[in-house]
Structures are given as C-alpha cells and as structure tokens.
Amino acid sequence: MQRRHFLASIAASSVVPGMSFAQDTSRPLRIVVPFPAGGSTDMVPRNMQDVLPKLLGGQAVVIENKAGAGGSIGMAEVARATDGVTFGIATLSTHGVNPAVFKKLPYDAINDFVGVTEIVKAPGVIVINPKLVPANNFAEFVKYLKANPGKVSFATPGNGTIGHMWGAQFMKSTGTEMQHIPYRGAGPAINDVLGGQVPVYFDQVASSLPHIKAGKLKALAVSWHERLDVLPDVQTYAEAGHADLNDPSWFGLVAPKSTPPEQIARVQKAIAAALKDPAVQKRMAAQGLYISGTSSDAFTKQIASEVAKMKKIAATAQIQLD
C-alpha cells in the first residue's frame, strides 16, 4: 500500500497547466464539505469548482455540505464511501483537533483516509472588539490581560474546536488567563463578539477579514511566517515574541482509504493545475488563503503529524470531550 501511494505521489508531482486528467468521467466527482455553506471551509473547493471539470476531462464536480458535530458527520460519510468518486475537505479541526479531544469519533483521521493534497494554508488571527478592550496592539493586550486575570473572556465555536485550542495555546504562551465561552457554531460566536457580548475571538483570517476591514474588529496578530498582504499592519505572533503560536491552519482534500491510487493521483494533478489558474489564485488571495498543493504522500504524513501535535496540546490544556 505504501509503495502504491508513493508511486501515486510521484505521478502527481508533474503537472502540465491546461492538461486534462481524464479517466471515468461518467459520474460526478463529489466533494463533501463537513461544515456549512458560506464558511471558510466551503470557500476553498468553490473557488476551484468552475475550472476543475475541464481539468478532469469534462467530469462534473458536485460540492455537498454535510455539517454537524464539528465536521464529524461529513467526514464519517466520506470515510464510509466506496464509490471511488467521493472526496472530502479536511481541516485542522477534522484531522487534527477532533482526534485529539474526542474520546470517540465516527471515523479514524489517520487510518480511514488517504491525503490527496493540502490545498491552501489559512493563517489564524486573534481579534478583539475594540469597544470592549483598551488595547491598540498585541503587547498592550497581553499587559491588560495580566492586569485583569480571568476577567476577560474569549469566544469559540465550541468546546474542542480549533479556536479553543488556539486560545489554550495563547494563554500558555503568554502566561495569561481568560474565561472560555464556547458557542454552538462559529456564527453565534462571531456575532456575539461583534455585538459586544464577548471581547476576544481566535479565528482564521478568511472568516474575520471582512469584519476587520470594516473596522468592527481589531486584529492583533496573525499566525504566518510574514505579514499578510491583506493585513500588512498586523504583526505576526513571531514578531510579537511568540513564535510557538505562529502555525497556520490549513484545508486539504482527502479520499477514503478504498479509493484507487490512480484516482487519487488524477485528482491531485487536477487540483494542482487548478491552483495555478490566475482566477483561482486571485479568489484565494482575496480571502486570506495561501496556495499550497502538496503531494498525496506529504499530506498523508502531515495529517498524522497534526494529530500527534494536537494530542499534546489537548493533554497540556486538559481538553477532553466525550
């Protein structure tokens, strides 16, 4: 099996722009997004949906949103698929955080899937409601937290989410203490931050960018190796003296373990070619998403590494859910 995946990754490494990667095109390629329509996870495949059919030899591409349980419902459906045309959008939550914090999952993030490719990196950001927190920058914010231990709260989409993990990492790194306010989803969480109910939120740039640009939220730091073109005045965590917080989130494509290696290689090539399309690149960049396009072998190994990393963070922060 390892040899077949190795050969698939080699085959996927050579991409010719404009070339179609044809095979069986009679059935649509189905991409399951395990989160609601309109969110940052949903943006990623839809940014490529118009160019992928041509690259797949005329095969239609259907995107289905199967949200619920922190992405577990959609990922479980992908894991069970045996049709050879079902793929899923994997995230740091579904293939990093969930396996680390939930005692039971309806899928195995490592053993039920083969990584097809990491599509994009997604820098994270810490934002505050400027009406509630008297801080103009990261240093002032940390100083304020230390002067008011446990009095400031941060919102997340729920217990055991990536926002929860980022908040736990932040407090450990900065030596601060905040109250965690878990919501049932990202929508209610960000709405209460915008509405002044909770002052702090850990998010992906792609989701918070419109609110930052509108001046409703203030970004204090981003998790990226350099300042972002879309937020040039916001320092990185590394610049703020906390390089351990500088790892971004990501979105990728996975396939059920039963998917033929040649199909995985074919789809990986098509995604890699789509990411070279100027229109796709423009859409991704406008949303604060940074193109990746790794091999199948590299992404499969990355998932295993992320699970191990998140398990360490969860253990340190004592985050465990049934």
Query: Quick one: pLDDT at residue 23?
Result: 58
Q: How far apart are CA 129 and CA 134, in angstroms?
A: 9
Q: How far apart are CA 72 and CA 51, in angstroms?
A: 28
Partnered with residue 30 across adjacent β-strands are 62, 86
List, run by run, the mean pLDDT of 10-residue segments along the chain (322 residues): 40 40 76 91 96 97 93 96 97 95 94 98 96 96 97 92 93 96 89 96 90 96 94 96 94 97 97 98 91 97 96 89 83
CB 96 within 8 A of CB 249: no
Q: Copy the structure tokens of residue 9.
A: 């990754």
Q: How far apart are CA 296 and CA 294, in angstroms?
A: 7
Is the sign of the CA dihedral 222, 223, 224, 225 positive or negative? positive
Helix (H) or strand (E) holding 145: helix 138-147
Quote the pTM value: 0.85
Q: Which domains are seen in the chain, by residue range?
A: 2-122+248-317 (3.40.190.150), 124-245 (3.40.190.10)
CA distances from 29 to 64, 84, 86, 165 (A): 11, 9, 6, 33
Q: Copy the structure tokens of residue 126.
A: 């810490």
